[in-house]
Amino acid sequence: MPGTWSISTTVRNPERIILFLRVLSRFEGETFDPDTQALFFKELIKTKLYLPNGISDYYKQKYEDPEEFSVAEVKDILSQVFYENKSFNNNQEMAYAMRGRTAVSNITKMGLAIAKESMGTVKITELGKKFLDGEIDLVNVFFRYFMKWQLPNPIDKGYKNFNIVPFTAVMHVINKVNIEWRNLGNNPVGVSKEEFSLFLTTLIDYRDISDRVSQIIEFRKEKRSRDRNEAQRYVERRFEETAIEVFKLNPNEQKKVETKVNNLHDYGDSAIRYFRQTKLFYYRGNGRYVDLAPTRTVEIKRILENFDGRALSFKSAEDYLTYMANIDEPALPWENLEDLKSVYNNLLVQARLLQNDIKNQYRNQALHDFELSKVEMSSINDYNQEITKLRGIIKTLNNDLAILKERNLENIDLYIEKLTELATRKRKISGQDPLNLEYYTTLSLMAIDDAKEISPNYSVGDDNLPLFTAAGNNPDIECRYSSFGMICEVTLLRGRDQWFNEGQPIMRHLREFENRDQNKSLDNYCLFLAPNIHRDTLNTFWMSVKLGYEGRIQKIVPLTIQQYVNVLKKVKELNTKGIRINHKDLQSLLSNIYNKSNAAGNDSTAWLSSIEEVIEQWSSSLSA
């Protein structure tokens, strides 16, 4: 019997979920028997959403192209996999069906679809359809899922001794720990990552919540009473003791104990990371602690009042999946006029505190000054509109605070390191890499000069750390300077799929950004960053630079990530000489690169090959 709960790895990657769901929708109305399961798995390969081990370099290269594989190519790929993979045990179709069931299992568990042989034909639920149509965002999908995901349930086997909804139980523990810690005369900080891994992923019954709170407080006191080295040894011993107890291990089998200790850390880290995606949790203390989000205090209070963390009872798997798929379940207790008023008041307080904090720290350097007077309203719709507006203001103020903090260039070495790693890693190495690329690019843009506004379009929590990459209908990052505007688009794609995914959308994003610009006299640029600039992407941008897009020339500047890193190094080098670049210097670089397109005549490759020289000349001119 398991002694912990953990979040499935498939749930972690939101882009994977929606893409798999879209492929599954091709099979709607068909019985999800082994034949359909195998076909679904083959379709994932055909659409290049699944990369099997053991395929040739030829097909690995073709995964970089945007076109789907042909039926014949899928057959050839599978023949290679079958030849290399002995685990198929001479039964290919059964193996394919097993892979298909695995790939779809969490889509079903999240209530986005029903794809089980025992439950009839494949059905995309109402929640799944709204997700595919963009009517419900990833934050709400994860929030609805975690509010209802419970153990035991009729789908996951082996949890008979559990009685818990992990998400709400964790909220209760953190809230109670904060209260107890404050009563002891301390500032509440939520729970540490160590405490989460030790005491929360091993909490399997909601009736033990108060006991776990006491254990966390005692653990914290014991740790604080020791010096650093003793405290570290104490933590290590507690992890070993917990692993032995929870997983029923022999204490003498040290290797197994170490493995399970690592599992405890991994389970805790994963749960924290993905609970944050609901925006009800946030990091604090430089990521060492996780706490309940201050901008969501009203919602959290209502959840704590109405949900105690106990699992519900279901007669059948069908009943449970129907519940998971119902977008109106559970009923949210704060969608009334009085509570929305409280939400609005709390956000207004948070916005005022943040704006005052910026003014106190940076005085006349503040980038925005919002009028934060209280508005009297009488309808739910009015409150919802003002709440949305205040959340936008808080995001802007958090961005402003980040810009002002980054301007000292203290962290530029970190951004150089992280961007260099991303530029040289294989594209598929991590589902987090695209988000990290947007994040570190944003921070580096904040650092290098005196921008008025650097606004990433990725979703963030109260800690201003990213949750999801920017939606496809928006630029990755929007930048506004005193003398020009800019969008920045980033990708880790290297092959022809770079052109397919980035070419036309980027030109459209730039034109829409230009059209929104209130000062039509200012130039607008697009800075495009990628590990390499594919020839099809280059020539698509070349048409826009030379001939225009929808009737107007566009100023698109394509750089490799490594060339951009070189720019950051130049900025750092100039700063050590007492030369601090400003937005006009950045505009000069963008303009010089763009203008080189004229000198290149009709040769786009000549333009691309001139960029490094332009960067060197730009740097030399500033230090002269």
**Looking up tokens 């994963």, which residue turns up?**
270
Residue 153: both structure tokens together: 């349930």
pLDDT per residue over 480-522, tens digit each? 999 999 999 999 888 878 887 788 889 999 999 998 876 677 8
Mean pLDDT of 371-376: 92
**Element at 557 (helix H, strand E):** strand 555-560
How many residues make up the chain in this entry?
624
Q: In this prediction, what percent of the chain has a pLDDT beyond 90?
A: 59
pLDDT per residue over 343-363, tens digit each? 999 999 999 999 999 999 998
pLDDT per residue over 26-63, tens digit each? 999 999 999 999 999 999 999 988 888 778 888 888 88
Instruction: Quote the pLDDT of residue 429.
Output: 44
Give CA–CA dist 101/116, Å, rounded: 8
Q: Is the pLDDT of residue 15 over 70?
A: no
Instruction: Quote the pLDDT of residue 431.
Output: 59
Q: Which amino acid is at 433?
A: D
Mean pLDDT of 313-340: 86
The values of phi and psi at residue 331, to 5°, are: -65, 130
Q: Alpha helix locations (H) across 328-432?
A: 337-362, 380-406, 412-424
Please check whether residue 151 is in contact with residue 164, taking contact to mean a CB–CB distance below 8 angstroms: yes
**C-alpha separations of 546 from 242, 261, 558, 584, 606 in Å:** 65, 59, 14, 24, 14
Residue 417 pairs with which residues in a beta bridge? none
Within its chain, how far is the Cα of 147 from the centroid?
Answer: 19
Taking the model in full, what pTM does it have? 0.84
Q: Which has more pLDDT, 219 or 156?
A: 219
Q: Is the pLDDT of residue 443 over 80?
A: yes
Residue 457: both structure tokens together: 């379009």
Mean pLDDT of 398-406: 90
Give CA–CA dist 334/336, Å, rounded: 6
